[in-house]
């Protein structure tokens, strides 16, 4: 069901009775495990930074007896920066709507009868604020994984924090085939010589102005010729209407089944560059497809495989053995379905801008303009990802 835009009233926010079930998953595993919306660091600037340093490569640097002191050497520090992005939501509910929580919209004509239950939402404004906060948490979690960095030079453009996938530049393994420059019109995608076949699964990495598709999710290819195709959200499903767009990019997934050797290749890449020294927080961050692939790879390699579990930052995770220690497996719905990130969780932290006399994430009443209560939820939040070489990513995996 769709939400509404504008003031909530008795006409556009009908009441019902009985137990209330949410349709949208509310879990934010990555964000929750590193501090959530209530823990982390603070900044007094829209751009924040942290420092890095390295040591020289070791060797057998010996000196002869009685030698003079060598030429002095010093290590240079460097800085890494990110920005906090503004999360701002507004909720407005009329006085009548708040008072009429006993007015329900159950069908009244035969054969329907009201079941006599009560409305579980007795404070509409509070309930709507709670849902807005949950939505912000989902946005932050998504951004910490998928966020594309934007540091604007004027106030005409919104700041965007750099997410984990964009931050990892050193330890990257690309599987599959990346295709860029595609366009769409209505429900048809044009990509010259795309090489797809009917039933293929793809993941979009950029969607431009196209609607109905989301980067990172799995889509099925259908109704195609050499240069065009359509996509659906289920095998054999209806084609998705995309509208007119340019700048569409997608990945044709790898045909090879994931093995423990592939996982070890990924972890070794990060390990060789200094990552995964903290065993309790070394974690594979995955969505559902790659979670199943990791389980199958472990069963194939180790025979009968029994998962164990840990608690990391209040989030329950399972574990899997690698040649470089036991790694957590954290399921996160906001991860692209063709991607595995090996992450050193101890290096991640949400960073908040503290607004004077208000705090880092707050609700406040807006100016009164009529017979309604109007509030906004506000926070400026960014990701500190530590040493990007302590993480590793593999993309384009088999779907």
DSSP 385: -
At residue 112, the pLDDT reads 57
At residue 372, the pLDDT reads 97
What would you report as the CA-atom Rg of the chain, rounded to the nearest whole angstrom?
25
Task: Report residue 271 as tokens.
Answer: 């390990």
Q: What residues does each domain of the chain span?
A: 25-51+79-105+118-171+256-399, 177-252
Q: Which fold has domain 177-252?
A: Elongation Factor Tu (Ef-tu); domain 3 (2.40.30)
**Spatial distance between the Cα atoms of 223 and 205, rounded to a whole number of angstroms:** 21
152-161 pLDDT, tens digit per residue, is 999 999 999 9
Q: Are residues 158 and 337 in contact, defined by beta-carbon separation less than 8 angstroms?
A: no
**pTM summary value:** 0.93
At residue 104, the pLDDT reads 86
Contacts of 347 (CB under 8 A, 6+ apart): 385, 386, 387, 390, 391
Low-confidence ranges of the chain (pLDDT < 70): 1, 106-116, 304-306
Phi-psi region of 113 (alpha: psi -120 to 50; beta: other; left: phi over 0): beta
At residue 110, the pLDDT reads 57
At residue 342, the pLDDT reads 98
At residue 109, the pLDDT reads 57
Q: How many residues does the chain have?
A: 399
Contacts of 66 (CB under 8 A, 6+ apart): none
At residue 114, the pLDDT reads 60
**Spatial distance between the Cα atoms of 260 and 268, rounded to a whole number of angstroms:** 12
Secondary structure (DSSP) of 40-91: SEEESSSEEEEEE---PPP------TTPPPPPP--PPPEEEEEE-EEEEEEE
At residue 106, the pLDDT reads 65
């Amino acid at each position: 069901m769709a939400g509404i835009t504008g003031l909530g009233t008795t006409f556009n926010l009908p009441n019902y009775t009985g137990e209330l079930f949410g349709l949208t998953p509310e879990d934010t595993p990555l964000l929750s495990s590193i501090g959530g919306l209530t823990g982390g660091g603070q900044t007094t600037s829209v751009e924040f930074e942290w420092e890095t340093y390295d040591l020289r490569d070791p060797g057998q640097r010996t000196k002869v007896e009685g030698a003079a002191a060598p030429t002095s050497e010093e290590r240079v520090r460097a800085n890494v920066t990110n920005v906090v992005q503004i999360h701002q939501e507004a909720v407005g509910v009329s006085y009548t709507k708040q008072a009429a929580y006993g007015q329900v919209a159950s069908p009244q004509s035969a054969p329907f009868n009201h079941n006599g239950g009560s409305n579980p939402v007795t404070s509409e404004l509070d309930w709507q604020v709670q849902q807005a906060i949950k939505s912000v948490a989902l946005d932050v979690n998504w951004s910490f994984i998928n966020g594309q960095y934007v540091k604007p030079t004027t106030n005409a453009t919104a700041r965007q924090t750099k997410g984990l996938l964009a931050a990892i530049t050193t330890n990257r393994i690309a599987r599959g085939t990346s295709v860029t420059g595609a366009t769409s019109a209505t429900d048809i995608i044009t990509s010259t010589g795309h090489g797809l076949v009917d039933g293929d699964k793809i993941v979009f990495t950029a969607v431009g102005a196209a609607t109905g598709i989301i980067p990172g999710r799995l889509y099925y290819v259908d109704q195609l010729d050499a240069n065009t195709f359509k996509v659906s959200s289920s095998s054999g499903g209806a084609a998705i209407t995309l509208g007119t767009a340019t700048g569409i990019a997608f990945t044709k997934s790898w045909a090879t089944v994931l093995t423990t050797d592939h996982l070890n290749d990924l972890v070794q890449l990060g390990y060789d560059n200094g990552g995964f020294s903290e065993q309790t927080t070394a974690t594979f961050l995955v969505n559902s497809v790659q979670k199943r692939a990791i389980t199958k790879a472990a069963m194939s390699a180790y025979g009968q495989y029994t998962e164990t579990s840990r608690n990391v930052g209040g989030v329950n995770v399972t574990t899997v053995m690698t040649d470089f220690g036991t790694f957590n497996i954290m399921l996160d719905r906001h991860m692209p379905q063709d991607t595995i990130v090996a992450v050193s969780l101890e290096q991640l932290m949400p960073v908040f801008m503290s607004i004077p006399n208000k705090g880092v994430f707050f609700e406040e009443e807006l100016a009164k303009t009529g017979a309604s209560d109007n509030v906004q939820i506000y926070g400026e939040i960014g990701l500190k990802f530590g040493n990007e070489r302590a993480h590793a990513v593999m993309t384009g995996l088999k779907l």
